[in-house]
Structure 1
Amino acid sequence: MSARRQKVTDDDVFAAAQRVMGRRGPHELTLADIAVEAGLTPGRLVQRFGSKRALLVALSERFASSAGPVFAALRDEHGTPLAALRAYATCMADLAPTPDALLRNLAYLQGDLADDVLRGHLVENARAARGEIETLLEAAIAARQLRPGVDVQALARIVEVVISGSLMTWATYREGAAADWIARDVDAVLMPYLTGPSLA
């Protein structure tokens, strides 16, 4: 439980909401829980956001613009375009530290898909992420990691589909860590296009 603080920013609230969402499903989530986690009174949180849905909309709007910073950090951290791409794929396993956590995340995704506003933010993020994947693939061609002539747009779409599908398949089999499962599938998709023996 967080002690109440004098100043709690929106970023603090969003981080608190994400932590609580990691522990509670959509029907269990309350503004009171988020307020306690953030160090606010529930009344103050209602004054700031108005309702649980309004807070979730604000959180999803913030998420919609997150692809650029996420990929920039991955490019800075990893030495090659394909290493950054592989790291992005495996970081999707953060949604599944445990099978129960993935089930909660899928429940939130179901709500996002059923709500036009939330889905709009989801689509915005997905399109931005696919654009970033295309940029990494183009850079991999320039760096001679991938052979020339690769259809970057088509391959980016396949990579996007494989990452999501791999996570769902892991949820069924639950063999090993989700990150390792996803990495194997992405490696298999990219392998025919490589100029060398690995993605490093």
Structure 2
Amino acid sequence: MIFEAVASVVTEEGPAGATLATVAARVGLSGPALTQRFGSKRGLLVAFAAKAASRVPEVFSQVRAVHADPVTAVVEALVTMPGRVTSREHLANNLALLQMDLTDPDLREHAVFQSRSLRAETAALLDEAVRAGRLAEGTSPEALAMDLYTTYSGAMLTWAIDGEGTLEEWMRSNLLRTLAPHLRGSGGADSR
């Protein structure tokens, strides 16, 4: 509940707005209670980053439970990852947190873990898709996972600058375009 409040505040107001008092008010606690638990705002953000990084497998597992097809599952998992980001302002606020991730060693550690976890979960689904015959034989799950991660990251920025529709629509379209040459029997690698 505390980390959900942090995510909401960061998305709505940016990390500057994620004070102990603001987060505490959202969850019905006192600022001193959060200070006792996390020590400082930075401590709260580091704990939040650790939680966010650790939930990547959970997101993929939840999406996988709904989508039997591994190709669909990988696209939907990646589309799900931005969570509450539904406006350019929300994305800008989350990018402000990313800036902190890049400069604070403790936050960076969790950002790196999250990035690697996301690529590993993506590669696992892509490996399953290769074995199921959904992707062309010889497709490298690891290389394609990196391409999809790059597309995922880039799609957020291009949508924020000049994208059309929702972030979810924009991201899905870009991910599917990256996957298309690798798909079996749908205009991809095996149908040439």
Fold shared by both chains (TM-score > 0.5)? yes
- Write the distance in 1 (CA, Å) between the matches of 2:49 and 2:104: 11
Quick check: 2:9–2:17 contact (8 Å CA) kept in 1? no
Counterpart of 1:102 (choices 58, 79, 91) is 91
The letter of the residue matching 2:48 is L
Tell me by how many angstroms 1:93 deviates.
4.5
After TM superposition, where is structure 1 displaced by more than 4 Å over at least 4 residues in a row? none
Residues 42-121 of structure 1 mapped to structure 2, 5 A cutoff? 42-94=31-83, 96-121=85-110
The letter of the residue matching 1:35 is A
Secondary structure at the aligned position of 1:135 is classed as helix
Tell me by how many angstroms 1:22 deviates.
2.1
Runs (5+) with no aligned partner, structure 1: 1-11
Quick check: 2:129–2:135 contact (8 Å CA) kept in 1? yes
Counterpart of 2:132 (choices 118, 139, 143) is 143
Higher alpha-carbon deviation: 23-32 or 89-98: 89-98
Residues 1:55 and 1:93: Cα distance change in structure 2 (over 3 Å): closer
Residues 128-167 of structure 1 mapped to structure 2, 5 A cutoff? 128-167=117-156
TM-score, L = length of structure 1: 0.88
The letter of the residue matching 1:151 is S
Deviations 1:155-198 (A, max 9, x none): 11111101100111111113111111111111111111111228
Deviations 1:58-97 (A, max 9, x none): 1111122111111111111112000101102222453530
Higher alpha-carbon deviation: 51-60 or 40-49: 40-49
Counterpart of 2:28 (choices 27, 39, 60) is 39
RMSD: 1.6
Secondary structure at the aligned position of 1:165 is classed as helix
Runs (5+) with no aligned partner, structure 2: none
Residue 124, structure 1, aligned to residue 133, structure 2 = no
Deviations 1:106-149 (A, max 9, x none): 11111111111101111011111111111111110111111111
Counterpart of 2:159 (choices 165, 170, 185) is 170
Which structure ranks higher in relative contact order (CA pairs < 8 Å, sequence separation ≥ 6)? 1
